[in-house]
Amino acid sequence: QLQLVESGGGLVQPGGSLRLSCVGSGFTLHYYDIGWFRQALGKEREAVACVSHRDDITYYKDSVKGRFTISRDNAKNTAYLQMNNLKPEDTAVYYCAAELGDLYSTSVRCSGPSDYEYWGQGTQVAVSS
């Protein structure tokens, strides 16, 4: 059974950092595009950062560029989202998602939740003083 489990969320002051983890089980994460999404209260789920299965293509939402970094450790079957200089507007539930990579694709899918089939349960991130 394919499963994704996120962790690492919490309450942090503005300017602080968090690292979210997403552990995959039942499949090899290396073959999958990985996306991190977030959903704030009353808002739609949106893509934050995505990485192709070959790790050669990344996408970042404009508002997080230079602050967030997506990565993965294939030996641990784990993906990460390093979040620095956090702002109150980053407050949301963060989800990781996986979709089998396309061998012939020259881009990474990251337009929205419908791009991804497999989802974790989410982890809450709250940025407040």
For 21-57, the pLDDT digits (tens) are: 999 999 999 999 999 999 999 999 999 999 999 988 9
Provide the pLDDT confidence category of residue 1 given band limits of 50, 70 and 90: confident
In whole angstroms, what is the distance from residue 2 CA to residue 100 CA?
Answer: 12
Tokens matching residue 58: 């990344």
pLDDT recorded at residue 84? 98
**What is the per-residue pLDDT for 107?**
87
The answer to whether the beta carbons of residues 120 and 22 sit under 8 Å apart is: yes
State how beta strands 68-73 and 78-83 pair: antiparallel
Per-residue pLDDT at 115: 92
Contact criterion met (CB below 8 Å) for 108 and 98: no
122 is written with which tokens?
A: 């989410």
Q: Which residues contact 20 (CB under 8 A, 6 or more apart)?
A: 6, 7, 8, 9, 36, 80, 81, 83, 94, 96, 123, 125
